[in-house]
Amino acid sequence: MKTAVMKELYSFLHHQNRYGSEQEFVDDLKNMWFGLYSRGNEEGDSSGFEHVFSGEVKKGKVTGFHNWIRFYLEEKEGLVDYYSHIYDGPWDSYPDVLAMQFNWDGYYKEVGSAFIGSSPEFEFALYSLCFIARPGKVCQLSLGGYPLAVRTYTWDKSTYGNGKKYIATAYIVSST
């Protein structure tokens, strides 16, 4: 909350009457991103933050893993084998969007999308905004004058607040 982008997000949502106080907003973000939900038969074995920013293996395949910094660090350690990209966004500078295929520590990711060159707080704020405004739907945005679509998902196996669903994933759908 100490970064400019998070302050801007709170200010916007507060003026939209989504949150009455910064503490209410912070508490909701904590529950949304770090509250546990079940990915399968086990109870409380994952969180939105883990899925989006760290990545997970589910049924032998990589899920989530949408953060370029984590990707870079894992690749540097020899844990990620980048195969190819299937989409490169229209931006001439950063942040950009890339959809790619890779192997992570022996597990395959058929296609994953990530911002490239953005700050973690930018991604956290953008995905939070989309989840709050359009939970479980496509969120249409404009970034640097280009259209961008971010898809969020809700997870039914756990709830927080007044029946809100945890954020399960957020990823870039398209930017054309």
DSSP symbols for the chain: --SHHHHHHHHHHHHTTS-SSHHHHHHHHHHHHHS-B-SSSSSS-B-HHIIIII-EEETTEEE---BHHHHHHHHHTT-EEEEEEEEE-S-SSSSEEEEEEEEETTEEEEEEEEEES--HHHHHHHHHHHHHHSTTSEEEEEETTEEEEEEEEEEEEEEETTTEEEEEEEEEEE--
61-63 vs 56-58, strand pairing mode: antiparallel
7 given a catalytic annotation: no
Residue 6: band (very low, low, confident or very high) from pLDDT cuts 50, 70, 90? very high
Range of the structural domain that residue 154 is part of: 4-173
66 given a catalytic annotation: yes
Instruction: Look at the chain and report how many structural domains it folds into.
Output: 1
Choosing from 7, 15, 109, 157, the catalytic residue is 109
Per-residue confidence (pLDDT) for residue 169, from 0 to 100: 53
> What span, in angstroms and rounded, lies between the C-alpha atoms of 137 and 153?
7
For residue 34, how many C-alpha atoms fall within 13 Å in the half-sphere facing its CB?
A: 5
> What span, in angstroms and rounded, lies between the C-alpha atoms of 104 and 72?
12
Say yes or no to pLDDT of 38 above 80. no
Residue 136: band (very low, low, confident or very high) from pLDDT cuts 50, 70, 90? confident
146-160 vs 56-58, strand pairing mode: unpaired
**pTM to 2 decimals?**
0.87
More confident residue, 96 or 77: 77
Choosing from 7, 66, 164, 165, the catalytic residue is 66
* Mean pLDDT, residues 54-70: 92
Average pLDDT over the chain, rounded to an integer: 85
> What span, in angstroms and rounded, lies between the C-alpha atoms of 106 and 80?
8
Cα 124 to Cα 94, 132, 171: the distances in Å are 16, 12, 11
Per-residue confidence (pLDDT) for residue 171, from 0 to 100: 56
Say yes or no to pLDDT of 60 above 80. yes
User: Which pLDDT tens digit goes with each residue over 80-92?
Assistant: 999 987 667 777 7
Choosing from 51, 76, 137, 165, the catalytic residue is 51
User: Which pLDDT tens digit goes with each residue over 147-176?
Assistant: 888 888 877 665 555 555 555 455 566 544
